[in-house]
Amino acid sequence: MPPQPPSAPTPPSLPAPLFDTAVIAGVGLIGGSVALGLRSRLLARRIVGVDASLDALREAQALGVVDEIRAAPGEWLREADLVVLAAPMRVLAPLAADLAPYLNPQALVTDVGSVKATIAAELHRLGVRNFVPGHPMAGSERGGVAHARAALLENAVWVLTPTEHTPLTALSRARALVEHLGAAPVVMPPGAHDDLVATVSHLPYLASLALTHLVARDERLSLLAAGGFRDLTRVASGDPRMSRDMVVENREALRLALRRFRTQLDRLEAELDDPEELLAAAQEGKRTRDSLPVVKRSLLPRRHDLVVTISDRPNQIGAVTQALGAAGVNIKDIEVLAIREDGGAMRLGLETPEDVQEAAGILRGAGFDVVGRA
């Protein structure tokens, strides 16, 4: 055979996404953050939002959180291989019942609700096979998609609460989802989860309400309320109805946590007359609080991303940054997404959608393969 001319190296293709079509049911703070995580980490080829509020859907689409929007379930759902239920807890089960007739039986279905035993039982009753109940231990008092950020879920503990009905393959797919989103999966039964969050989430919410009620009786108290009071009561600013639903749903476990809390308060009150004992309690409290792990999250919103494939040749990353630097495009964040024998991909975080357009043009001109995610 005559010698062949050397062919131009073909740029490596982007890593295959974990999911083809992801559906986010409830495109608010948490659903939107999951969608942004899927997006920025290239975990789904296509993200569809479904929500009871047309305004929320339009906002999610305008912010580039989802690719497509749907106002109601339908045949279109069969294309989904991932469905994330992220609506308020009181509507999670009815929402699942509306979606169930259209679900592809292979689809991984998960939720993000704050209490797990009831939803786990409800979805089993509905016959949703690949359902893995979940709860990211991260959030904010500010709801709505405008506050969604992929970084919200980064390094967060994300509890998965399989039951005896949960297929092992579904659990391992849910684990992979959580890990790929940059969070840390922790697996336990739904009841154990509900007992624990009663103490670390639902009790603090009621305690913050109690404190705000104390302050409400005298406006001079609000005047003097500084960092300490504000830190302790931040969660009282959350959506009252959602928070109410959360604590009511977990009331059995919460009653026990409240009893333990009252005992602690009584003990501390008694120790006011025993300063040495109170000092020991204060030292123990400081040790516990100081030893809580610091959760590191990126400071940058990852809304304006550009993904560049890089071949396995020297100085490819340098060539990308130099080309953009020479044109005055400011790179705010860089992440290497995948490294393989034939190359890999990296994500550039840019400030504005216009920067993404400009950078994509420059890099394409320099022979790079790019995908914009403005």
Ligand X SMILES: NC(=O)c1ccc[n+]([C@@H]2O[C@H](COP(=O)([O-])OP(=O)(O)OC[C@H]3O[C@@H](n4cnc5c(N)ncnc54)[C@H](O)[C@@H]3O)[C@@H](O)[C@H]2O)c1
Ligand Y SMILES: O=C(O)C(=O)C[C@]1(C(=O)O)C=C[C@@H](O)C=C1
Residues contributing to the site for ligand Y (CB under 6 A): 114, 137-141, 201, 235
Distance between start and end Cα atoms, the chain? 48
Contact partner, 335, from ligand Y, ligand X, none, Cβ < 5-8 Å per class:
none
Q: Is 112 in the site for ligand X (CB under 6 A)?
A: yes
341-350 b/e with 16+ CB inside 10 Å = b? eebbbbbbbb
State the nearest-atom distance from the C-beta of 53 to ligand Y, in Å: 21
The size of the interface with ligand X (CB under 6 A), counted in residues, is 28
Q: Identify any residues that bridge with 108 across adjacent strands, giving them in sequence order.
A: 82
196-231 burial code (b ≥16 CB/10 A, e <16): bbbbebbbbbbbbbeebeebeeeeeeeeeeeeebee
| CA 42/CA 18 separation, integer angstroms | 8
Q: Which does 235 bind (CB under 5 to 8 A by kind): ligand Y, ligand X, none?
A: ligand Y
| Residue 80 in contact with ligand X, rule: CB under 6 A | no
* Stretch touching ligand X by CB under 6 A, among 14-22, 66-74, 131-139, 361-369: 131-139
CB of 139 to ligand Y, least distance (A): 3
| CA-wise closest residue to 10 among 361, 315, 367 | 367
Report, in Å, the least distance between residue 254 CB and ligand Y: 12
- Among 12, 37, 73, 88, interactor with ligand X by CB under 6 A: 88
CA dist 96 and 120 (Å) reads 11
* Near ligand X by CB under 6 A: residue from 22, 24, 25, 306: 25
| Partners of 131 in beta bridges | 109
Q: How far is the CB of 221 from ligand Y (least distance, A)?
A: 23
Beta carbon of residue 55, minimum distance to ligand X (angstroms, whole number): 8
* C-alpha–C-alpha distance, residues 239 and 140, integer Å: 10
| Comparison of 65 and 86: residue with beta carbon closer to ligand Y | 86
Pick 21 or 114: Cβ nearer ligand Y: 114
Nearer to ligand Y, 103 or 153 (CB): 153
| Structure tokens that stand for 157 in this block | 């503990």
Nearer to ligand Y, 212 or 357 (CB): 212
- How far from 367 is each of 13, 353, 361, CA to CA, in Å? 14, 21, 10
Q: Which of ligand Y, ligand X, none does residue 163 bind to, with CB < 5 to 8 Å depending on kind?
A: none
According to the binding rule CB under 6 A, does residue 120 interact with ligand X?
no
Interacting span for ligand X (CB under 6 A) from 46-54, 159-167, 205-213, 290-298? 46-54
Nearest to 135 by CA among 117, 161, 109: 161
143 binds, among ligand X, ligand Y, none (CB under 5 to 8 A by kind): ligand X
CB of 312 to ligand Y, least distance (A): 41
Contacts to ligand X from residues 132-151, by CB under 6 A: 135-136, 139-140, 143-144
With respect to ligand X, which residue has the nearer C-beta, 12 or 28? 28
User: With CB cut-offs between 5 and 8 Å by kind, which of ligand Y, ligand X, none does residue 80 bind?
Assistant: none
CA pair distance 7, 206, nearest whole angstrom? 68
> Nearest to residue 310, comparing CAs of 366, 358, 373, 368?
368
Q: Exactly one of 44, 65, 69, 87 binds ligand X (CB under 6 A); which one?
A: 87
| Whole-angstrom distance, CA of residue 162 vs CA of residue 193 | 11
Report how far residue 38's alpha carbon sits from residue 41's, in angstroms, rounded to the nearest whole number: 5
Residues 6+ apart with CB under 8 A from 125: none
**Extended strands (E) in the chain:** 19-25, 44-50, 68-70, 82-85, 108-111, 131-132, 134-136, 157-160, 184-187, 305-311, 331-340, 343-350, 369-373
Nearer to ligand Y, 201 or 233 (CB): 201
* Residue 370 binding ligand X, by CB under 6 A: no
- Which residues form the interface with ligand X (CB under 6 A)? 25-31, 51-53, 56, 86-89, 91, 95, 112-114, 135-136, 139-140, 143-144, 239, 246
